[in-house]
Structure 1
Amino acid sequence: MLLFASAEPSEALLRQMIGDVALAQVERISNDWHPEQRDCAGLVRFAYRAAFLALRPARLSEGLWRDREGKAAAFADAETLLAHSFETLGRGDEARGLLQTGDLVAFRQIGDGDAPVFHLMVVIQPRDRAHARTRVVYHPGSRGAEVRLGVLDELARDAPAEWRPVPENTRFLGFYRFKEWR
C-alpha cells in the first residue's frame, strides 16, 4: 500500500512557525515588519503572514484576513481580526486548556473619548509542556516600543486587574483561534 504525504504543510508546522516568528521579534524586530504596522495586531498579521509566505504562499494570494464585510483582505485591525478571522474559544480554564501556539489572548480596554481599544497577544505553547509554561508575545502598541514576552499564568495572577486573562475581568475578551483551524 502506498501512502502519500500531504502537499500542504500541517497546521502544526504553521503554528510552530507563527510562534517562532513572533518570538524572534522579542530579540530583534525584523526589518520586514513595516514600522507603521508595529502594534499588537501588526505582530499577529506579521507572524501569520511570514509563516504562510514560507509554507503556503499561494494562500496569501486571496488575502489572509476577512474584512468587516467578510471579504478576503490583506489587512485588518485588531477588532476586525477578532470579529472576522478568529473565533472565540472561551474565557475560562477549559478554553485556556485548549490553547495552542498561534492562538490569541484578547482584551478590550477603554481609550481616549471612551473609544474601545483592542489588544492582542500571541500564545506560545512550549514544545515540552511538562517542564515549561505557556507564554504570550505582544507589542504594547506605542511607537518604537519593543515586543514583549510574558508567562500566561503570571499575567493571570500578577498583572494589573484590567490586563488579567481571567473570567472575572470584564476587559478580557477571551482566547481566540484562527477560523481556518476549527
Structure 2
Amino acid sequence: MKWALAIAAVLAAPALGLRTSARVERSASELPADGSASMSFHVQPRSLLGLSAPLLPSTRASLSLSPSIARAACGAGAHGPVCTVVAGTTPGEVRGTLRVEDALGLVTQVPVELRLRADDSDTDQDGFPDAVELDSEDDRQAFRRWFVTLAAAQYPTPHPHWPEVHRDCAGLLRFAYKEALKAHGASWRKGRELNTASAPDVRKYQYPAVPVLGDKLFRVAAGAHDAQGPLESAFSTSASARWLLSANVVRVPSGSALPGDLLFFEDPEARGMSYHSMVYLGDLDGLGPEVVYHTGPDSRPGGSRGIVKRLRLEDLLSHPDEKWRPRDDNPHFVGFYRWKILD
C-alpha cells in the first residue's frame, strides 16, 4: 500500500568548494497501524543553478526509528537510495533520523517523523476491521498450515497449553486459531513436537499484537464493526460454537473446502450445546481428506470430559448416526465455513 503525499526536504554537502545536494521525498506522513501499510523516502538529485548531476552509486542511506512500532529498510533505487518504512500494529508517533552519506564520505542527517493511526475501517462490513484480515496469500497460507498442524496435533493427546476448561469442539478451534497467529520461535517450540520447522509465520501481525483487537480475537456480536462502540461488547477472548458460526466465519461450497476450513453441525436435541464444529485437515498423510474435532463433554452425571477424534472424511460420510454426515442433504449439517480473516 503506497500513500501518495510528496513532502521534500533538502540535503546539502560541500564538495570542491561548492555544495552538492540531494532532495529527500517521502510518500506519506501518516500510515494506518495495520501491520502492512508502507511509505518510502527517496533520495534523489537536486538541481543547483540549473544543473543537476546524478547521485553516484556509492551514495548510501540508513534510517533509524524509535519506538520500534515500525520497521525500516534501505536499499538502492533507480535514481538513488530508497528507505521503506512498514507500519506495525501499534498506533503512535515515530521519530528517527535519515542518514545519507555521499561518494565523498560527507554525511547529512535529516530528522523524520511519522504517525501510525489506528485503522478501524470495515469496508466489507463483515464485522472484522480490515487491519485484522490477512490480505496476502502468503499470510493466508501460513495461517492455514499452522492452524491445521496445531489442530491435528491435539490428537490423541491434547497439549498442556490447551487448558482443560476450554476443551470442547469450539475450544479446539479457538486454541488452534490463537496459536496459529503467534510467533513460533525457539521458546514457543520448546516442548512441542510439530513438523513445521520450515513453516513461515504470519507476517502482517502476531498475537497478541493484533491490530485493533489485541487479545480479543473472536467476534460475539452481529453486524459490521462499530469503531465508535466499546470493543468489549463486540469481541472477546472466547466464543461459543454458535458465535463462531454466526459471526466469525463465512460459508463456502462443500466442493471448495480448503485445509483449515471448518464444518458445523446442529443438533437441537443437545441441550446447551446444539452446535458442533470440526476442522477440515485436507489430505495430510496421503490417505485422503481428514477432519479432527473434540467430542465435547458428556453432560450426563458421571459423563466423560470428551476426547479428540481424527477421522477420514470418507468415514464421517458413512457415520452410523446420519446426523453427523457432512452432506448437503443432511438437515443437521450446517455446512463448510472459512474464517473471515481469510476471506
TM-score bracket, shorter-length normalisation? 0.7 to 0.9
Tell me the distance in 2 between the aligned counterparts of 1:175 and 1:22.
17
- Residue matched to 1:35: 164
Q: Contact 1:14–1:51 (CA<8 Å) still a contact in 2?
A: yes
Deviation at 1:173, TM superposition (A): 0.3
Which of the numbers 35, 51, 67 marks the counterpart of 2:180? 51
- Residue matched to 1:104: 262
Structure 1 pair 96–112 and aligned structure 2 pair: CA distance change class (3 A): closer
Which residue type is aligned with residue 281 of structure 2? I
Q: Contact 1:104–1:175 (CA<8 Å) still a contact in 2?
A: yes
Residue 161 in 1 paired to residue 319 in 2? no
Structure 1 pair 72–150 and aligned structure 2 pair: CA distance change class (3 A): same
Residue 133 in 1 paired to residue 262 in 2? no
Residue 75 in 1 paired to residue 228 in 2? no
Q: Contact 1:62–1:72 (CA<8 Å) still a contact in 2?
A: no
Structure 1 pair 155–112 and aligned structure 2 pair: CA distance change class (3 A): closer
Where does structure 2 lack aligned partners over 5 or more consecutive residues?
Answer: 1-75, 78-83, 89-135, 184-200, 224-233, 298-303
Structure 1 pair 64–173 and aligned structure 2 pair: CA distance change class (3 A): same
Which residue type is aligned with residue 141 of structure 1? G
User: Stretches of 4+ moved more than 3 A in 1?
Assistant: 6-9
Aligned residues: 172
Structure 1 pair 88–132 and aligned structure 2 pair: CA distance change class (3 A): same
Which of the numbers 148, 156, 180 marks the counterpart of 1:19? 148
Tell me the distance in 1 between the aligned counterparts of 2:158 and 2:314.
25
The structure carrying a bigger strand percent of its residues is: 2
Query: Identical aligned pairs, as a percentage?
Result: 31
Q: Contact 2:254–2:335 (CA<8 Å) still a contact in 1?
A: no
Q: Contact 1:15–1:102 (CA<8 Å) still a contact in 2?
A: yes
Q: Quick one: higher RCO (CA 8 Å, sep 6+), 1 or 2?
A: 1
Deviation at 1:110, TM superposition (A): 2.1
Alpha carbon RMSD of aligned pairs, Å? 2.6
Tell me the distance in 2 between the aligned counterparts of 1:78 and 1:123.
15
Secondary structure, aligned partner of 1:136 = strand
Secondary structure, aligned partner of 1:25 = coil
Which residue type is aligned with residue 238 of structure 2? F
Deviation at 1:102, TM superposition (A): 1.4
Residue 65 in 1 paired to residue 218 in 2? yes
Secondary structure, aligned partner of 1:150 = strand
- Residue matched to 2:96: none
Which residue type is aligned with residue 108 of structure 1? E
Secondary structure, aligned partner of 1:20 = helix
TM-score (norm 2): 0.46
Which residue type is aligned with residue 118 of structure 1? Y
Deviation at 1:112, TM superposition (A): 5.0
The structure carrying a bigger helix percent of its residues is: 1
Where does structure 1 lack aligned partners over 5 or more consecutive residues?
Answer: 90-94
Which residue type is aligned with residue 120 of structure 1? S
TM-score (norm 1): 0.83
Structure 1 pair 87–26 and aligned structure 2 pair: CA distance change class (3 A): same
Question: How do 1:79-90 and structure 2 match up within 5 A?
Answer: 79-89=242-252
Tell me the distance in 1 between the aligned counterparts of 2:326 and 2:270.
23
